[in-house]
Structure 1
């Protein structure tokens, strides 16, 4: 692969280890905090592609498309596990699915027209908002008792589906705080969010596969906007470690960890903004 010419075996080994470590961290955080692994995978892939010299016009598209593809198997496993524990609300899921699917379709279509800088800006802004929510959310805060009416629920589902697709994340990162803000029990919010990850990642990945077809300047081993090397190294690590996070959730101070992760997200967001302005 010509793009790796000039890089030492040590450097390439570091790349492989970085991708595997990304999968491990994404899996643990997904189980521990109820956030989608994509919120970790996308910025790491973005910075790795920057180091490799991948053109800016496709860098973020490949990071997002690859992240969505990694979410497919992990969200299926997570949703099955939550269903067995009874924390997946099928009625709530059925209420959200139509609007989420419409949002995913809209996001997929838009991704084919938006530049890499715009996609990066969307991720940076939303990551900063997620960080603020995780760091400063007050216990007991609620917007209402249960989801709003049909129109309000449709808007919520559409926004979750559309923004998640453009960011390359599963449903949990946005749906868990939104659902919990409407007094959905946390375990139910996490379980339902995991199932939404399936609804978002499959059509979202298809959209990025189609949009990236025959686009120039993509890295080697990339189909559409999905990089197979990143997918092959991240997915096994994420699937292996997703249960570790769930086990750790009962033995460490999750609030303190949320604050640390919020700081990571904030720094990542600011670094992306700096890259856009530099």
Structure 2
């Protein structure tokens, strides 16, 4: 990581929690800038262009949901919401506002650091969002299906934690998609001459490295998580991907390293999938690209010739 990659903005109206977050992030090598309300926080994100932003939900003035939407209009900063509101609807509102993660207070500093590590391992957008770009809002909005943290005493931020450092840019990205199940009917993505790298299926074209999506010749802008979700499904072809499996992959994890997936995680995958279908112009009852396997998950539709 460069020095710029270690910049964090903390938006929190509680002074004690703000100081705790400063301590936790600075132990990880971040340069921190703090704000006590949403409007000030949005301006500090604009000024310092941080890699990471933590955001309280209940604040004077504009709340965290509105602040997240404003930040997403010009920034692709990794955004973690911290709040005492743990209802599922609040979690989904946070994700839909543009949060990458949603953690309940009181939180475990070690868990916060682990989640930051996981986020920084994920691929960023191909290019940073530049202020004033009219497409920035949709291009930068980044959501992640994440389970709210369990309550715990925040007093465990001890000196022994000082050895934690933010992962370097050489850290490999999350796990790759497993190969299709043997014997399953496979849709082999077609690529036209000179289009190496593109995956195509029934008029839908995806370029994973450039993170581009084209439908019937028209480019479609997706959030980071919507793109990752589509990429996972189209790469798996006719292999069914469960909601739990997709939630773990979107978190940069797998059943090898983690196994807990909450109902909120699965519901978040459903929300992302519904948003993805809407942007692609797909009807869920007559899907052109993504089939719902009831009670299990999702898979790519059969090829036209299947």
Q: Do they fold alike, i.e. is TM over 0.5? A: no
Higher helix share: 1
User: TM-score if structure 2 supplies the norm length?
Assistant: 0.23
Higher strand share: 2
Larger gyration radius, structure 1 or structure 2: 2
Question: Structure with the greater relative contact order (CA < 8 A, sep ≥ 6): 1 or 2?
Answer: 1
User: TM-score if structure 1 supplies the norm length?
Assistant: 0.25
